Amino acid sequence: MYELGITTSFSAAHHLVAYPGACAVLHGHNWKVEIFVQGEQLDELGMLVDFKVLKACLNELMEELDHTDLNTHPEFIDLNPTSEQIARFLYRRLSISVSDSLYKISRVMVHETPGSVATYWE
């Protein structure tokens, strides 16, 4: 089994509705995002997937989230945009655009702050 990963980041604001503390107030983070793909076979070039392909798909999603108020994003209108929810959103969106017969998204990690990470996989 092979697993590849890439890392990027985005900056955005959010607040947590009904949270009993300071996170209920609009504030921002510089989220670090790691995505991983997994597969058993390499292609004719000896690669699971070209890193360039992964980066292009992830960068498209980062542009959608970067410098926004996540609470106004359609995905988070009825959900608190927590790191857990962001990881699930990214996993599901990337599973549509990245998965192939040779590989699939295996997990997504979202770091809200250094030392605080949420991971999602199915």
Determine contact, residues 6/34, Cβ cutoff 8 Å: yes
- Please give the torsion angle defined by the CA atoms of residues 37, 90, 32 and 71, in that order, rounded to the nearest 10 degrees: 180
Q: Mean pLDDT for each consecutive 10-residue tract of the chain (122 residues)?
A: 96 97 96 97 94 93 97 96 98 89 93 96 96
Indicate the pTM of the whole model. 0.94
Q: What pLDDT is recorded for position 30?
A: 97
Determine contact, residues 84/109, Cβ cutoff 8 Å: no
Q: What pLDDT is recorded for position 102?
A: 83
All domains in the chain, ordered by first residue: 2-120 (3.30.479.10)
- Give the residue numbers annotated as catalytic, written as ranges: 23, 67, 112
**Which residues make Cβ contacts (< 8 Å) with residue 12, sequence separation at least 6?**
28, 29, 31, 65, 66, 67, 68, 69, 70
Q: For residues 68 and 41, give the distance between their C-alpha atoms in angstroms, rounded to a whole number.
A: 38
Q: What pLDDT is recorded for position 112?
A: 95
